[in-house]
Amino acid sequence: MRHRKANVKLGRTASHRDAMLRNMVTSLFEYGRIKTTLSKAKALRPLADRLITLAKAGKADLSALRRAAAVITKRTVLDKLFGEAGGRFADRLSGFTVMAKTGLRPGDAAPMVILELTGAGQARAAVGGQPRKAGSGAGDRAKRVAQSSRKAPEKAPPAETAPPAGEDGEAPEKSEA
């Protein structure tokens, strides 16, 4: 019986699943966003939230640092997380990640998502990650529409006069001089 077995198996053994989730959460904190399947992202979110909650305690809490180090595989990522998470996620109690569905994977039609960290107005996509592309949010579209309506009205193009028609109703050909 599987009483109180809350995690999803994801078609892997327990050790393989743990290693995969550890690598995925390390990549999430390293790059700020990852592209993965919907089921893996749903399994990863609670782990990422738990680690950010530990990191909000800061480096002063040695126990929290050690518990996070047991999961995160790279020391540089752990230092970034504990250095920047306190300021970035200070006003949040939960919901540190956001998922955006991107469609189906061509090979097996698995639903794909982009899982990324939130915070700081999403100006940066990651704790030490790469900046988001401009024009990728709903608010950005509203700004673009407002800017396009504020543009100075363009001058009307001058009315084109039709060239005189030849004897058979066709336009005369231009001769090269």
What pLDDT is stored for residue 121 in this prediction?
45
Count of domains in the chain? 1
Whether 47 is covered by a domain: the verdict is yes
Identity (one letter) of the amino acid at 13?
Answer: T
What residues contact residue 102 under an 8 Å CB cut-off, 6+ apart?
35, 112, 113, 114
In a domain, 75, yes or no: yes
Helix, strand or coil for residue 114?
A: strand
> For the residues of 35-97, what is the DSSP string, one character each?
EEEHHHHHHHHHHHHHHHHHHHT-TT-HHHHHHHHTT---HHHHHHHHHHHHHHSTT-SS--E
**Which stretch of DSSP H or E encloses residue 145?**
helix 138-150
Residue 48: which residues within 8 A CB-CB, separation 6 or more?
Answer: 25, 28, 29, 96, 97, 117
For residue 54, being part of any structural domain is answered with yes
Question: CATH no. for residue 58?
Answer: 3.90.1030.10
Residue 159 placed within a domain: no
* Mean pLDDT in order along the chain per 10 residues (177 residues): 84 93 94 94 93 87 92 93 85 89 94 86 47 54 68 61 61 59
CA 29/CA 34 separation, integer angstroms: 9
**Would 108 be classed as within a structural domain?**
yes
Q: 71 burial class (0-12, 13-18, 19+ CB within 10 angstroms)?
A: middle
Q: Look at residue 93 in the predicted model and tell me its pLDDT.
A: 86
Residue 165 CB contacts under 8 Å (≥ 6 apart), including other chains = 171, 172
In a domain, 143, yes or no: no
Q: Are strands 33-37 and 97-104 parallel, antiparallel or unpaired?
A: unpaired
Residue 128 lies in a domain: no
- Residue 113 located in a structural domain: yes
Quick one: pLDDT at residue 125? 44
Domain containing residue 36: 15-121
Specify the pLDDT at position 155.
62
